Amino acid sequence: MSVSEKEVAHRAASDAELIAWVDRQDQLLGSLPRAELRERGLIGRGTYILLFNSAGELCVHRRTLSKAIYPGYWDVAAGGMVQADESYVESAARELEEELGVAGVELTAHEQFFFDQPDNRLWCAVFSAVWDGPLKLQPEEVIEARFIAVGQVLRETAEKPYCPDSLAALKRYLGNVANVP
């Protein structure tokens, strides 16, 4: 499977985006290009939107091969880096619309937590939403998407590569929300 020129151009533009740069207490320090944050091991902000349908199934999607981290991995959340001039909720709404074509839904905020792995240090804000309409995938970032039962998602994580940061968001959500679908 080859990486398209469009994906390569999207990756270059993405790496140049100014991202909120924060400290270990999530205090804003300024903004830096995404690639510089990653290369220097600095902390940014990220959003994770768990998208369910009304049957309680979770939308999972597979990332394109041009992604800087976790290329080709399955992801349990839409989302991404918070840009310099955005709040967490503004970023979540933008990312959900860009990646999956879902707009105008109510975003429920859950918790924020610190995720710390080499090349991926983030303050993470977790949101959830319900959507029964069609998905419109962003071809530069998403190869495929489907809604499946949460139990099946958790079983698949033993067999397929899933993004560890969004899995951490899902597991925290599952541990904190009563009557999870």
Residue 84: how many other CB atoms lie within 10 Å: 16
Give the 3-state secondary structure of residue 152: helix
Angle CA 142–143–148, to nearest 5: 90
Residue 99 in marked binding region? yes
- Quote the tokens at residue 160: 């397929």
Residue 159 in marked binding region? no
Element (H, E) at 39: helix 34-40
Interatomic CA distance for residues 27 and 166, integer angstroms: 22
Question: What residues form the annotated binding site for Mg(2+)?
Answer: 95, 99
Residue list, annotated binding site: 95, 99
